[in-house]
Amino acid sequence: MDDPGTQPGKIELVISEDGSHTLYVPQLDEHYHSTHGAIQESRHIFIEAGLSKAAEEWNEINLLEVGFGTGLNALLTYLKTIHNNLQVNYNAIEAYPLNEDIFNQLNYGHLLEEPEASACFYEICLSEWNQPVRFTPNFKLTKVICLLQEFAFDRGPYNLVYFDAFSPEAQPEMWTEDIFRKLYHSLDPGGLLVTYSCKGTVKRALKSAGFAIEKLAGPPGKREFLKAIKPSK
């Protein structure tokens, strides 16, 4: 693939089964979200199994997202902080940022039917990279253009990781024991990592890195996904 900062070739807009957009990258034969429903997948895996569970342990959550992508996870997290009085420091890594034309076509803000969703979505996606931006007293966003392999984990320790990279088939270098070991060491004890993949190679890499893993029932169209926990000492 190209160097960080360059989009991965042609990108096509696709309507998923819940009416929300995802993106298709022919070069990788990959979608950014489930074609069975982008919003429902993000809510089920990252918000409900990740953020809501972390909120049971911490009032202030230091969060790392691997793969900012379309900004959907960040938007849903922001809305959760508004409705649940939850404080989140949101750190996102993205090697291949999308351009403004693509963000302008995505329909998440309209579908979520919340007054602030559309405006906030564009503010999140078009905010400055490589510097912290505070949106509300409860939500601070720092987007970093970087390969995960070169990321400095100096904004940790984290309480929660959204691991939302392209699939192990498309980007095997992202799903290694070495990567998961770095994430493990960047987490507080009891910290969580959630990801849509439930492949055997991913489970073995997470276990070898020190995580305790749990298979959870997936959203529509997906049988299972993974939650990984750094054991408390």
Q: Which CATH number fits domain 37-229: 3.40.50.2300, 3.30.360.10, 3.60.15.10, 3.40.50.150?
A: 3.40.50.150
Residue 180 pLDDT > 70:
yes
Residue 176 pLDDT > 90:
yes
Q: Largest Cα–Cα distance of the chain, in whole Å?
A: 47
pLDDT in tens, 123-155: 999 999 999 999 999 999 999 999 999 998 888
Q: Do the beta carbons of residue 187 and residue 206 sit within 8 Å?
A: no
Q: Do the beta carbons of residue 188 and residue 230 sit within 8 Å?
A: yes
pLDDT in tens, 7-38: 557 899 999 999 999 999 999 999 999 999 99
Residue 173 pLDDT > 60:
yes
Q: What is the pLDDT of residue 2?
A: 42
Q: Do the beta carbons of residue 54 and residue 46 sit within 8 Å?
A: no
Region 88-92: mean pLDDT is: 98
Cα Rg, the chain, nearest whole Å: 16
Q: What is the pLDDT of residue 178?
A: 97
